[in-house]
Each structure stands twice: as C-alpha cells, then as structure tokens.
Structure 1
C-alpha cells in the first residue's frame, strides 16, 4: 500500500503533467518536421545516405516509429500517461478543492477574523444595524450572503473554482480524441484525373462511397504561377442519390465524418495526334530530377522504337518542349495549336489533362478534440475569476463590527476594495 500511495502521489503531481506536456510538444514538433506516413523506401533512400541531424538514418527512423509519430506506441503512451496524471490530479486535488470552496465557513468569534489576510474593526453605535447594512450592500453588489443574528458570511466568484477542473476535463477529452483518431482514423491521398473515380470501402470490403472528379481547374497569376486549385466532386454513397460538391485549397469538404482536402495538383496525361492518326492519350510521369513540377514522356519516332524524343512540360497550358536524345531542343508545341514536323513525324499536342491531388481523412476523434478545446477554453476563462469571501461579526457589548476577507487573486485590489465597502456602509447608515 505505501508503494501504491507513493505511485499515486507521483502520477498526480503537477510537475509530471508539465514534463509530459513538454515531451508531447517535442514529439509533435518531430511529427511536423519529418515526413509522415510515406512509403518505407522513401525513408531508406533519403535518410540512409543523409542521416537526419547526422545521427538518425532511415533504418533507425523506422525502428523509432518516426515515420508515423502520432500513431506510434511511445506517443500514445505519453498521451495515456498525461491523461492518467490529469485525472488523478483532478480526483486528488481539484475535486476536493472545489468541494471545500462550496462549503460555507462560519466564523463566530472576532479572534478568528483577526487571523485572516484582511481584517478591520469599526466602532459604531449600532453594530447590529451596521451588520444589516453590510449584508444589504453585499447583496446589492451580487454577493451570496448567509446572515445570522450576530454574524454573516458572503462570497462571490466561487464559479472560478470550477475552472481548473474543467481545464483538466477538457485536456483529457482532447487526449482521448487524439488517441482515438490516431488508432481508428483513416488517411488516403490520391491524384485523380477528370472522369476518374475513387471507391472507399467499408471494413467488410463493400463500397461505402464513390468519389468522382468531374472537373478540375487551376487559377494562375499573370506570371503563370498557380494561385488556387478547385475540384468539382460527385459523391455517390452506396444505395443513395448522387451529391455534387466543390472544394478548393483552404475550403475542404466535410461529408459524413470524412474530410476531403484539395491538397495538390499534377499533370495526368497528354493527348497527341501523329499525322492523321486518332488522338492518343498517353500518361505523363513526374521528373523531379529535371526541376520542380516537370512532367514528360519518351516518344519513339520510328516503328521499331528507335530515335526517341522527350516531351516535357510544367503546366497544363504548355508549352510542351521536345528534346532530342542528346538533350538538344527541337521545338515547342502549344496545346491545341498547329502540329510540327519532329524527325519527319507530324506531331500535334491536342491537350494536357491536369490531375487533382485529393487528401481524404476520416478522424472519429475530431468531435472529442473540438469539445476538449471548448471545455479547456471555458475552464481557462473561469479560472481567471477571483473567488472572494467576507465575514463579519458584531460585538454588541463594545459596539464593534469586525470585518475580514480572503481572495485567491489580486489580494492587493481586494485590500483596497474592502475598506471602501465598509465606508459605503457607514455612509448609508449616516
């Protein structure tokens, strides 16, 4: 039992909760800096050749679960320990403090009041009348007053004692929501070309929702730089009517517990016409080694696959640059423009099809996280409310009124307020 009590004391210590908060903040910073939930090969290729901070290579990063920090065992353990520490602190400290604040303290002797932080004694001809006047003044100013024949107790701002308990409750809800989202949440990122669909399956393998990209538009500035991307989506729930929605950057779609973000853009395919041939739609590949946002394909110009040329572009508006096998520029082609002879091959670019980068996330813990934030903010606001208490005892034999008070915040301000209150009572009686 002594060991158990010692363990409870350690877990309910506020210093442990602060230390856990700092560790969680540090872990969250790691999750922000390092790429998360990428393919295993990416970490091995990138960090084995260039270890992070010169110490952590790709293999060690995977063993430490730094590729999925927020769903890692050690991060969830930190959340669980912090939640347990907050609950124990609330149970052992905040709840008893609230119960004590709700109990009325009855001081019946002047000597008891003289030991409080603020205490004054006034001589008056009618101490009972002064006590009644003080009670009336306090009630008029919103104080809760309990009066007896020769004494009274008053308090204001007791609701501020609820604040710390609400803060702890909100933080626990936030932690539960974050852990639930990490364990039960889903994340899917895909590039879709117009007309293509993405089927979301239920745990049993049945189609739960079909997302079809009907249209994708890129808004560009006069210099050709992308400013905004927007997608028109057709949502088809299983066995229900279709629903059409539009999303753009910073304007996601929230639908039945799922959030769809406009995350990125790409180029999906290029449509070519060779001479009088039918239009050919060919997929484009990304070539990051050639520069930022460069797509292209290799096109042979002879039936046997010889004498290839390389077509590259960085925008759905073109131009499409055509390079020879030695890297020399042959020509530029505009989508929808006239064809050009490329090594004896009439070549025309009909259009370039962009692709919308969609990020689909389902996080069942979001309502708890939002509720936790709201309760934490409410508790933080209530914690700023000062709890003030006043006691008064009359001595009819010596015609004295003894007044004393306590305040858990801004005691100096209350020390100036208390004499002013008593002076107003004297003025009312005069």
Structure 2
C-alpha cells in the first residue's frame, strides 16, 4: 500500500497527468463540443480531423464531449488523488518540520550547514545579543537559548506548495461538478417571444422575453455585434438587461450569452390580402447563412416559388422551379410581379441566438484559481534560517535557505559585518 501511495504521489506522474489534461483540453477546444452526432460524421467522414480521426472515431472516443467524457473525468480524478497524496506525504510533513524549531548546540553542527562562518569577537555574548536585535528589527522570528540563537524568516513560503495543490484540487472538483451537474441550452428567440425555464420539479423558475434585438453591421454589411434586450421575470423580481457578444448576463446561477443570430419570420402581402407572417428556415444547400421558404402561387398549391435572403435587410430573391430568378424585392419596398401576383415583402424579423448555461461548479473553480494564485505567490518567498552559538571569543553562525541560496550567502556575511561594527 505504501509503495502504491509512493507511486501515485510521484511528482513526475503528476506532471505527466497535467500534460495529458492540457492535451485533452486542447482537443476539446479544437473540436466543437456538444453538437449533434450527425454533424461530426458529416464534417469528418470525407476529411478526417487532422487526417487521423473520422466522424465515427470522434464519437467513439467521446471527443464530441471531452470535458464530460469518462476518460477525461478519470484523468482529473487520478490527478486529484496524486496531488492529495503528494500533499499528505510530502508538503504537509515539510510544513510541520518547518514550524518546529531546530536547536543546534555545538559549533560542529553549524559547520555542516550550507552557509557557515565563524567570527572572532571580544565578547561573544554581546555579539550574539546584537545579532538577535538586528534580526528582530528586520522581521525575523527568534528562539533564544542560553548562548544560542535560532532565527527564521519567510515561513509563509512553506505554505505555498500546499496551497497550490489545494487550489488545483478545488479547481478540478469544480470542473467535474460543472460537467456532471451543469446544463446547456441554445435557443433562437424572435423579439416579443418568451422562453420559460423550469426547475427539476417542473415549476417555472424564470421567464426570458426578448424585448429587442439589433445587429450592428460594418460598411460592407458584415455583422460586427449583436445586442439583445432581455426581460427576466422570476417569482419575486423582474429586470431588463442587455447582452452582447463577450458581455453575458448572470442571473440566479444562470449565465446567458449572446451566441448567434438567425432570421425568424418574413411578413408578406399578396395582392390586397392581409399581411402574412411566415416562418423562415435555413437552406444549407444554398449557402452557410441562407434563409427562405417555399411559397405556392396557385390555390391548389402548384407552381411554387422559392424566396431566399441572407440578411434581415434583404434583398429577397424569388426563384421559380427551374432556378430562374423572377424578382428581387426589398423589405418595406414596392411589390413585384411574381407569376402574375403582386407580392410585397413588408418586413423580415431577425432572431437572437441565446446560449444559456448553468454551471454550479463555477464558484469552486474561481476559488481554486484564487487559492492556486495565492499559493504560487507565497511559493516565491524564500524560507531562510539562521543559527548562532556564542563560544568563548567566537560567534559561530550557520544558515539554510530553500530558494536563491546564492543571494543568502551574500546577505549573511553583510549581517555579520553590521554585528561586528556594533
């Protein structure tokens, strides 16, 4: 059992596991996550990912949901166990040992330390007292004995590695919690439409209503920014907030992102008929972002025409069954003749693509990051220790430092020079 614990707490194993987790995260970033299985088969069957993996292999290896896959969660669990064992077997005993005072009683013991010097002085006890006062004035902790002195500084640096391990474990726990208990929902909403979010008991938790949606475009007509004005109605409160790309909204544990846009409906007037609001659908075979609908021009449903458009500003192109363009209409413009019928496009209604995520592990992840950063900062603090023994007319001094020993080897003789100068 001890041998297994020693193997799991090996620093080299933890480094390998960290590299594997980083590689898996890179794969999860490169491959779109959470899409329908058919999309991976269509995307990677003819052109395998990196020339290696087909769509079926991507699905078999669970690369379509890396962060919630069994093998990724197993990696995190293994790494977390390795860090816990390393902290328990090494970092915690090291911290306990650093908190205990070591009492060297003979000059011979001091001579074996990394830094050791012997200073001749007329009164060794007075020199020891001056060294004690000097170190205390510079923030050192002291433990004095009769004719002996132990001092240390930077003990907080010993806490750093333990905090780093603790922060990493908290971060991984938060990631696993979010992957297993989190929820993700993507919906398109047209202005005036609402979306009800229910809790596990089926009760309405919040109603999200899209009050307004705007698409900001550049001079060439390309979309630059999307903005949605949302009204959120809970049981006891209501608020109106705006979201845009890179500026999400957080509400009662739910994060709402501005993710995409689409075209929802087109309003048409045929002759002197009332305006008809008809839903639009995508036509991937015509282009990446092409919407439209098939509209019959005769009462019996014959002689249909295809209306297609790429933006809410138009133009709306109308084609017959042979692919010949019959008309080009602008939303809000004049009607056009389509197979003997006057057809007018009154308006086109865009839809906002909202991504809603609930991740209960986010606070734990943030806490893990904070603890890791704090531990990393404390780890930079060097822990320095000094021992001194007054013996006859000599002051024997020895020192240890766990970081930047060269600088401490320069600092300690300077301190002794100040002691000699009184």
* TM-score class, shorter: over 0.9
Partners of 2:418 and 2:349 in 1: CA distance: 81
Partners of 1:241 and 1:274 in 2: CA distance: 44
Query: What is the CA deviation profile of residues 294-336 of structure 1, one whole-angstrom value per residue up to 9, with x for unaligned ones?
Result: 1111222222223322211111111112223322333321111
In structure 2, the partner of 1:13 is 10
Contact 2:327–2:337 (CA under 8 A) maintained in structure 1: no
Partners of 1:200 and 1:48 in 2: CA distance: 37
User: Cα distance, 1:45 vs. partner?
Assistant: 3.2
Of 382, 394, 398, 1:404 maps to: 398
User: Cα distance, 1:62 vs. partner?
Assistant: 2.2
In structure 1, the partner of 2:213 is 216
Runs of 4+ in 1 over 4 A off after TM superposition: none
What are the residue-to-residue correspondences of 1:243-254 with 2, within 5 Å? Answer: 243-254=239-250
Q: Does 2:140 match 1:151?
A: no
Partners of 2:365 and 2:283 in 1: CA distance: 40
What are the residue-to-residue correspondences of 1:201-212 with 2, within 5 Å? Answer: 201-212=198-209
Partners of 2:99 and 2:259 in 1: CA distance: 52
What are the residue-to-residue correspondences of 1:352-367 with 2, within 5 Å? Answer: 352-367=348-363
User: Cα distance, 1:204 vs. partner?
Assistant: 2.1
What are the residue-to-residue correspondences of 1:161-200 with 2, within 5 Å? Answer: 161-200=158-197
User: Cα distance, 1:119 vs. partner?
Assistant: 0.8
Query: What is the CA deviation profile of residues 258-315 of structure 1, one whole-angstrom value per residue up to 9, with x for unaligned ones?
Result: 1000001111111111111010111111123322321111222222223322211111
Partners of 2:77 and 2:418 in 1: CA distance: 54
Stretches of structure 1 that go unaligned for 5 or more consecutive residues are none
Partners of 1:53 and 1:304 in 2: CA distance: 52
Partners of 1:413 and 1:47 in 2: CA distance: 57
Q: Does 2:54 match 1:57?
A: yes
Further displaced range: 165-174 or 214-223: 214-223
User: Cα distance, 1:105 vs. partner?
Assistant: 0.8
Partners of 1:292 and 1:73 in 2: CA distance: 34
Partners of 1:308 and 1:355 in 2: CA distance: 26
Stretches of structure 2 that go unaligned for 5 or more consecutive residues are none
In structure 2, the partner of 1:116 is 113
Partners of 1:183 and 1:82 in 2: CA distance: 18
In structure 2, the partner of 1:45 is 42
What are the residue-to-residue correspondences of 1:220-299 with 2, within 5 Å? Answer: 220-237=217-234, 239-299=235-295
What are the residue-to-residue correspondences of 1:334-349 with 2, within 5 Å? Answer: 334-349=330-345
Partners of 1:102 and 1:208 in 2: CA distance: 52
User: Cα distance, 1:96 vs. partner?
Assistant: 0.1
In structure 1, the partner of 2:316 is 320
Partners of 2:47 and 2:216 in 1: CA distance: 37
Q: Does 2:327 match 1:331?
A: yes
Three-state SS of the structure 1 residue aligned to 2:285 is helix
Contact 2:117–2:397 (CA under 8 A) maintained in structure 1: yes
Q: Does 2:72 match 1:72?
A: no
User: Cα distance, 1:207 vs. partner?
Assistant: 1.9
Partners of 1:35 and 1:329 in 2: CA distance: 37
Three-state SS of the structure 2 residue aligned to 1:229 is strand
The TM-score with structure 2 as length reference comes to: 0.97
In structure 2, the partner of 1:82 is 79
User: Cα distance, 1:223 vs. partner?
Assistant: 1.6
Three-state SS of the structure 2 residue aligned to 1:376 is helix
Partners of 1:109 and 1:328 in 2: CA distance: 103
Partners of 2:209 and 2:294 in 1: CA distance: 29
Contact 2:267–2:348 (CA under 8 A) maintained in structure 1: yes
Contact 2:316–2:330 (CA under 8 A) maintained in structure 1: yes
Partners of 1:15 and 1:270 in 2: CA distance: 62
User: Cα distance, 1:54 vs. partner?
Assistant: 4.0
